[in-house]
Amino acid sequence: AQSVTQLDSQVPVFEEAPVELRCNYSSSVSVYLFWYVQYPNQGLQLLLKYLSGSTLVKGINGFEAEFNKSQTSFHLRKPSVHISDTAEYFCAVSFSGNTPLVFGKGTRLSVIA
Amino acid sequence: DTEVTQTPKHLVMGMTNKKSLKCEQHMGHRAMYWYKQKAKKPPELMFVYSYEKLSINESVPSRFSPECPNSSLLNLHLHALQPEDSALYLCASSPFGSSDTQYFGPGTRLTVL
């Protein structure tokens, strides 16, 4: 079955420290990969996406992610986090064709001053 | 401009009320979506409209009735809701279909008394 797993439900990190939020998916077909961020009481904002090409993708707010086909992963990274990065982060995958987007359960990033 | 707008921002309704949620985009996108999001959970897909035709209905109860009057507008008509329907309702749009990048609106926070 096609699924998306975000391994950590909560990640606390100190301000200016690096962070990695993990996302794995299970699929034998081509995928499109997305990371969205949701601040409290707001909608989802697209951080970055992988459709094809370079496996290292740069997004907004200093975030980047790397597509690893052999490990079926799309981990999100930031070298130095800010208090304002505190939010819920969702990994989402579109499995081949015009199929609905599948979301992971989300990771709550809490940046501590 | 990647903006999806939703009105109202907040809605409180009784179980016998009829109300509507509205969503609008002017990006020329041909696919529009309604999602329901409960607290600390990922969005759950409710409906997909593709080229103004309902293409996906994820077994949503009939008390939720979607409508797509034109390619820019999407409505969700609500009638005889239950308290468990209280949630954040998110609208999204994408250029063509589910495998494209989806852009989300800010959501409508619905409370059913």
pLDDT digits (tens, 9 = 90+) for B25-75: 999 999 999 999 999 999 999 999 999 999 888 889 999 999 999 999 999
Amino acid at B79: H
The answer to whether the CB atoms of A44 and B41 lie below 8 A apart is no
Give the whole-angstrom CA distance, residue B55 versus residue B72.
16
The answer to whether the CB atoms of B43 and A46 lie below 8 A apart is no
Neighbouring residues of A53: CB distance < 8 A, sequence distance ≥ 6? none
pLDDT given for residue B62 in this prediction:
93
pLDDT given for residue B57 in this prediction:
87
Beta bridge partners of A22: none
The answer to whether the CB atoms of A103 and B42 lie below 8 A apart is yes
Length of chain B, please? 113
Instruction: Identify the segments of chain A with pLDDT beneath 50.
Output: none
Within 10 A of A64 (CB to CB), how many other CB atoms are there?
Answer: 16
The residue of chain A with its CA nearest to that of B110 is: A41
pLDDT given for residue B1 in this prediction:
59
Please give the distance of CA B66 from its chain centroid, rounded to a whole number.
8
In SS3 terms, chain B reads as: CCCEEEECCEEEECCCCEEEEEEEECCCCCEEEEEEECCCCCCEEEEEEECCEEEEECCCCCCEEEEEEECCEEEEEEECCCHHHCEEEEEEEECCCCCCCCEECCCEEEEEC
Residue B6 scores a pLDDT above 90: yes
pLDDT given for residue A29 in this prediction:
81
Smallest CA–CA distance, residue B59 to chain A, in Å, is: 14
pLDDT given for residue B84 in this prediction:
96
Confidence of residue B102 (pLDDT cuts 50, 70, 90): very high
Q: Output b/e per residue, A90-109; b: 16+ Cβ within 10 A.
A: bbbbbbeeeebbbbbbbbbb
Closest by Cβ to A94, choosing from B42, B98, B107: B98
pLDDT given for residue A97 in this prediction:
67
Beta bridge partners of B42: none
pLDDT given for residue B2 in this prediction:
66
Helix (H) or strand (E) holding A111: strand A107-112
pLDDT given for residue A28 in this prediction:
76
Unique residue bearing structure tokens 């740069």: A58
B 5-34 → A contacts, CB under 8 A: 6
A35-54 residue pLDDT tens: 999 999 899 999 999 988 89
